[in-house]
């Protein structure tokens, strides 16, 4: 089983070969309503088909002037996006729709926070491209599983962020294909800078590094200097982290299905861990976790503190990003109270039935 599992990684070279015979996907013409909605964190994500999401991603690169400013070949951009699509797996959560979700949130933050006024266009290119690539070929089993199961990925990367290192490797394998290299107009030194920037951001999405990265940003935020490269890099790392775990920023009807998808993926992993005799994290165990308990802790102790720290630099995110998080926390706390009351009622009924016997 382990050999079969490992064989999935990078053996299917067809995925990494661009579709030369299909230089464009069936084009979905974006309406002005869609174009306007794309710039907002509340954008709905569930009704869009792959070709529509690809068209939206293409629009973002054009709208941010990345295609024009860096003289990208528009056909290469299309081929690259198609290849990206083909290298996301059909996992319950870590799939192409999640890639689109994270990139759209990044795009909305760039627009909302007017980042093009403070960042260079190269920074914007790095932010967007890292978002697109950040979970390439995710197998649906997290780093702890990789390390505990001693998978080929964990061995290859010495147990250090094996998944994130793999996402980077797949991304740059795709860029190594001339027909998918959206960076072909950059000289070697500029490409080196972009490559390092993208790798730094994708590696920052490993949640094992969450405390370290957020603490570093907290020490900088009160005297933040947009001319300081270290400050800007730290902010970019926090921005991709925000976007990666931003589902609860969205309206309830958009956010809640993502929570269901994530729990499905968690349960898939914990069931496998039990079958293989590996350690199981309580927050992934279907016998120990509920949706409200899972979400409350994550929103209270991870999401709100991080977004509130970013809010110190960009107060404009409070109404459209931080406030929805607070409302989501309150809603899940109410649901937990209802669950607790029902469980108490069941316990009481069981005790009563036991006495009658």
Length of the chain, in residues:
357
Nearest CA to 233 among 118, 123, 102?
Answer: 123
Other CB atoms within 10 A of residue 154 CB = 19
Binding residues for AMP: 94-98, 135, 244, 295
CA 251, CA 242: separation in Å to the nearest integer? Answer: 16
Q: Which two tokens stand for residue 321?
A: 């990003």
Alpha helical stretches, state H, the chain: 2-7, 32-38, 50-63, 66-69, 74-86, 96-112, 121-133, 143-148, 152-156, 162-175, 188-204, 210-221, 229-244, 252-276, 291-298, 304-313, 317, 323-356
Nearest CA to 74 among 234, 182, 147?
Answer: 182
50-63 and 96-112 are packed helices; what angle lies between their axes, rounded to 10 degrees? 30
CA 51, CA 25: separation in Å to the nearest integer? Answer: 6
CB 303, CB 248: distance < 8 Å: yes
> 94 catalytic, yes or no?
yes
The 3-state DSSP class for residue 231 equals helix
Other CB atoms within 10 A of residue 345 CB = 10
The 3-state DSSP class for residue 124 equals helix
Binding residues for Zn(2+): 98, 134-135, 244
Q: How many CA atoms lie within 13 A of 336 on its CB side?
A: 15
Binding residues: 94-98, 134-135, 244, 295
Catalytic residue among 85, 94, 138, 166: 94
DSSP structure class, residue 281? -
The 3-state DSSP class for residue 184 equals coil
Cα-trace Rg, the chain: 22
Query: Any idea which residues carry the catalytic annotation?
Result: 94
């Amino acid at each position: 089983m382990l050999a079969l599992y490992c064989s999935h990684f990078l053996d299917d070279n067809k995925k990494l070969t661009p579709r030369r015979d299909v230089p464009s996907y069936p084009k979905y013409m974006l309406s002005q309503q869609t174009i306007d909605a794309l710039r907002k964190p509340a954008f709905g994500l569930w009704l869009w088909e792959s070709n529509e999401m690809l068209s939206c991603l293409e629009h973002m690169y054009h709208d941010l002037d990345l295609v024009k400013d860096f003289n990208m070949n528009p056909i290469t951009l299309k081929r690259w996006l198609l290849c990206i699509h083909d290298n996301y797996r059909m996992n319950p959560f870590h799939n192409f729709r999640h890639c689109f979700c994270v990139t759209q949130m990044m795009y909305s933050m760039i627009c909302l926070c007017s980042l093009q006024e403070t960042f260079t266009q190269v920074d914007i290119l790095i932010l967007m491209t890292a978002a697109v690539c950040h979970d390439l070929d995710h197998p649906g089993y997290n780093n702890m599983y990789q390390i505990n199961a001693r998978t080929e990925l964990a061995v290859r990367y010495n147990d250090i962020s094996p998944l994130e290192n793999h996402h980077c490797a797949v991304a740059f394998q795709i860029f190594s294909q001339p027909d998918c290299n959206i960076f072909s107009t950059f000289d070697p030194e500029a490409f080196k800078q972009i490559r390092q920037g993208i790798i730094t951001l994708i590696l920052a999405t490993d949640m094992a590094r969450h405390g370290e990265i957020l603490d570093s940003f907290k020490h900088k935020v009160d005297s933040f200097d947009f001319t300081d490269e270290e400050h800007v890099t730290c902010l970019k790392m926090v921005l991709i982290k925000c976007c990666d775990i931003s589902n609860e920023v969205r309206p309830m009807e958009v956010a809640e299905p993502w929570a269901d998808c994530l729990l499905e993926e968690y349960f898939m992993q914990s069931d496998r861990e039990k079958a293989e005799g590996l350690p199981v994290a309580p927050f992934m165990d279907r016998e120990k976790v509920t949706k409200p308990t899972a979400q409350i802790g994550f929103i209270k102790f991870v999401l709100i503190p991080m977004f509130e720290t970013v809010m110190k630099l960009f107060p404009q995110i409070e109404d459209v990003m931080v406030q929805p998080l607070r409302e989501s926390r309150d809603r899940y706390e109410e649901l937990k109270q209802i669950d607790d009351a029902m469980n108490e009622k069941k316990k009481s009924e069981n005790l009563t039935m036991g006495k009658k016997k």
